[in-house]
Amino acid sequence: MLTLELWPRVEAVNWARSVVAANPHSNVIVVTHDYIDGNGNIEQSASYGATSPQYLYDNLVKQYANIRFVFSGHVGIAGSRVDTGVHGNKIYSFLQTFHSNTTNPVRLVEIDTSTESLHTWVYGPYNNQTFTEYDKTISGIGVVR
């Protein structure tokens, strides 16, 4: 799992590239503050950052067959998208941004490598609220073995 800063600097992206390249037999999850919006589009600009989410996608995420997931927040409520990397691999991206003092929702993720599936849902632990409209189950996610 790689956790990157908001709109990572070029040096941070280059560092992440070296880590992913050095571990080709490891499944990689990228976590960053801002990546996709509530409609599932990759953000194109960064208000004051050194790069953009699109830069991160172009220069890291799509370049490596072992990058499987990107998780982010910052904008929207919840969203997701699926991209195909340059090696034909599927990359699943999820946005989770709820600002609530009454539910404090979080995205929960369950990955089953034996069945190559993912289940994700949003849950509000403060009041036991579920947000079923954001439930997703994906089969055939492919994993590096």
CA 98 – CA 4 distance, rounded (Å): 20
As a whole number of angstroms, the distance between CA 132 and CA 52 comes to 31
Neighbours of 133 (CB within 10 A): 8
pLDDT by residue (tens digit) across 11-40?
999 999 999 999 999 999 999 999 999 899
Model confidence over 43-65: pLDDT tens digits? 998 777 789 999 999 999 999 99
Domain ranges of the chain: 2-99
Can you give the pLDDT at residue 99? 80
Return the pLDDT at 138.
Answer: 96
Give the pLDDT of residue 42: 96
pLDDT of amino acid 77: 83
pLDDT of 86-135, one tens digit each? 999 999 999 998 888 888 889 999 999 999 999 999 999 999 999 999 99
pTM for the structure as a whole: 0.93
Taking the C-alpha atoms of residue 2 and residue 16, their distance in angstroms, rounded to an integer, is 7
